[in-house]
């Protein structure tokens, strides 16, 4: 199944040409151009190739060649970062939250979904609903982004390490919770640009982000005095949940006006192993 040698002449030529053009991800117009077919005939050909598991559909009008060595699988989407890039209907996007943490080596768990921040509302295509989550953000919130090589030939827009940490502190629910975030910070603590992190927190401008990060650094005993002093300026009268994804309960006291519903011991136990 999916072996190019078993395909008809037209299909085999199409797949070979797409490979020659380095277009493993392609559109209907590419099929029309290569095969000299009209739109309806091109879509009929694509439907047959999808059924034979030679290609898979990423979204309406966009397809991906399934490598022959996989033997044919309808669940294949290729590199997940590239697939997310191709599905988004705008260049104003970035791989974010849990997925960006995975990219920067902050996780010990496998990647199971791609979190993608988008500035224009879009529904996740049916073909990607078990793999892709869109998070809507304002256009002016898209900064701290890098074009990263995610394969030997493909790039995708990903939040840089410090922006990833800021996003995680703002939305722990998209990042596996505070314990996962704290563990991730511990793993990459030597690679963090703490001046950039401070600048990003200031630019983001949310008190709770500074408080959560300040408390995490304190628990982990990551000594950054200037950063800690800056973060403490964000402490106001309001109390916020340390982890908004967990029930409200007070486990440990702190000076960050946070309701610690996680507990320092749980975080420290995680980073020790």
| Same domain, residue pair 184 and 239 | yes
Residues 52 and 8 in one domain: yes
Q: Is residue 235 part of a domain?
A: yes
- Whether 96 and 154 map to the same domain: the answer is yes
Number of domains in the chain: 3
What are the strands of the beta sheet with 132-136, ordered from one edge?
Answer: 132-136, 114-118, 93-95, 155-159, 145-149
- Give a yes or no: residue 11 inside a domain: yes
Mean pLDDT of the 119-132 span:
90
Region 144-160: what's the mean pLDDT? 95
Res. 5: pLDDT tops 70 = no
CA nearest to 89, candidates 132, 47, 40: 132
Average pLDDT score, the chain: 92
Confidence of residue 127 (pLDDT cuts 50, 70, 90): confident
Task: Look at residue 3 and tell me whether its pLDDT is greater than 70.
Answer: no
Instruction: Give CA–CA dist 81/52, Å, rounded.
Output: 25
CA 191 to CA 186: how far, in whole Å?
10
Domain shared by 60 and 91, yes or no: no
Say whether both 112 and 51 belong to one domain.
no
Residues 109 and 30 in one domain: no
140 burial type by CB count under 10 A (0-12 exposed, 13-18 middle, 19+ buried): exposed
Are 181 and 273 members of one domain? yes
97 within domain boundaries: yes
Q: Is residue 165 assigned to a domain?
A: no
pLDDT band at 71 (very low <50, low <70, confident <90, very high): low
Report which DSSP code applies to 69: G
CATH code of residue 30: 1.10.10.10
**108, pLDDT greater than 50:** yes
Q: Is residue 170 part of a domain?
A: no
What distance in Å separates the CA atoms of residue 234 and residue 63, rounded to the nearest whole number? 48
Based on the domain organization, do 52 and 93 belong to the same domain? no
Residue 58 falls inside a structural domain: yes
> How many residues can be counted in the chain?
273
> Which among 53, 70, 87 is the end of a domain?
70
In this prediction, residue 7 carries a pLDDT of 75
**pTM beyond 0.95:** no
Same domain, 113 and 185: no
Residue 25 domain flag: yes
Expressed as residue numbers, the domain containing 273 is 177-192+201-273
Per-residue pLDDT at 235 exceeds 90: yes
For residue 1, the model assigns a pLDDT of: 40
């Amino acid at each position: 199944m999916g072996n190019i040698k078993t395909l008809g002449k037209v299909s085999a030529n199409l797949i070979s040409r797409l490979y020659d053009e380095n277009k493993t991800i392609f559109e209907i117009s590419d099929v029309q151009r290569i095969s000299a077919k009209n739109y309806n005939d091109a879509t009929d050909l694509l439907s047959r190739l999808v059924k034979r598991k030679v290609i898979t559909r990423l979204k309406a009008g966009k397809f991906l060649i399934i490598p022959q060595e996989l033997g044919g699988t309808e669940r294949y989407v290729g590199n997940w970062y590239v697939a997310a890039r191709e599905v988004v209907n705008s260049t104003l996007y970035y791989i974010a939250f849990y997925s960006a943490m995975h990219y920067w080596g902050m996780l010990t768990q496998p990647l199971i979904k791609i979190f993608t921040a988008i500035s224009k509302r879009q529904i996740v295509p049916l073909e990607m609903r078990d793999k892709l989550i869109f998070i809507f953000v304002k256009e002016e919130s898209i900064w701290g982004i890098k074009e990263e090589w995610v394969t030997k030939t493909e790039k995708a827009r990903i939040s840089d390490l410090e922006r990833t940490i800021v996003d995680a502190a703002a939305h722990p629910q998209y990042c596996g919770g505070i314990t996962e975030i704290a563990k991730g910070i511990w793993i990459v603590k030597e690679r963090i640009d703490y001046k950039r992190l401070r600048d990003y927190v200031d630019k983001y401008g949310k008190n709770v982000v500074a408080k959560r990060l300040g408390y995490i650094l304190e628990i982990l005993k990551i000594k950054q005095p200037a950063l800690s002093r800056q973060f403490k300026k964000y402490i106001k009268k309001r109390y916020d949940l340390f982890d908004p994804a967990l029930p409200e309960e007070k486990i440990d006291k702190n000076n960050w006006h946070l309701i610690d519903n996680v507990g320092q011991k749980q975080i420290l136990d995680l980073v020790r192993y």
